[in-house]
Amino acid sequence: MLAVWSRAVCALIACGCYSPSPVEGLACSETGRCPGGQRCDPVFHRCAASPICEMPDIVDRFDGREPCVPWGQQFGNAALEIHDQVLTITPAAEFQNSGGCLANEPIEFRDGGIFLEVPAVLPAGRGFVAIATQGGATAPSLVARDGRLALTAAGDVVASAPYDATAMRWWRLRPDRVAGATIAEYAADGRNWTQLGVLDVPPEPAITFELSGGTDAPDPSPATARIAQLGVCPALR
User: Positive or negative CA dihedral for 152, 156, 159, 165?
Assistant: positive
Instruction: Provide the pLDDT for residue 41.
Output: 82
Say whether both 172 and 109 belong to one domain. yes
Instruction: Provide the pLDDT for residue 19.
Output: 42
Q: In this predicted model, what pLDDT tens digit does every residue of 198-211 receive, in sequence order?
A: 999 999 999 999 99
Say whether both 33 and 103 belong to one domain. no
Q: Give the phi and the psi of residue 111 in degrees, each rounded to 5.
A: -55, -35
Say whether both 37 and 117 belong to one domain. no
Structural domain including 161 reads 72-230
Instruction: Provide the pLDDT for residue 236.
Output: 61
In this prediction, residues 11-21 reach a mean pLDDT of 37
The domain spanning residue 156 has which CATH number? 2.60.120.200
Q: Is the model's pLDDT at 31 over the cut of 50?
A: yes
Query: Confidence band (pLDDT; 50, 70, 90) for 159?
Result: very high
What average pLDDT does the structure give for the chain?
88
Residues in the chain, overall count: 237
Instruction: Provide the pLDDT for residue 105.
Output: 94
Into how many domains does the chain fold?
2
CA distance 40 to 31: 10
Q: In this predicted model, what pLDDT tens digit does every residue of 70-102 receive, in sequence order?
A: 999 999 999 999 999 999 999 999 999 999 999
Say whether both 123 and 217 belong to one domain. yes
β-partners of residue 210 are 102, 132
In this prediction, residues 160-185 reach a mean pLDDT of 96
In this prediction, residues 133-148 reach a mean pLDDT of 93
User: Which is more confidently placed, 127 or 15?
Assistant: 127
In this prediction, residues 101-127 reach a mean pLDDT of 95
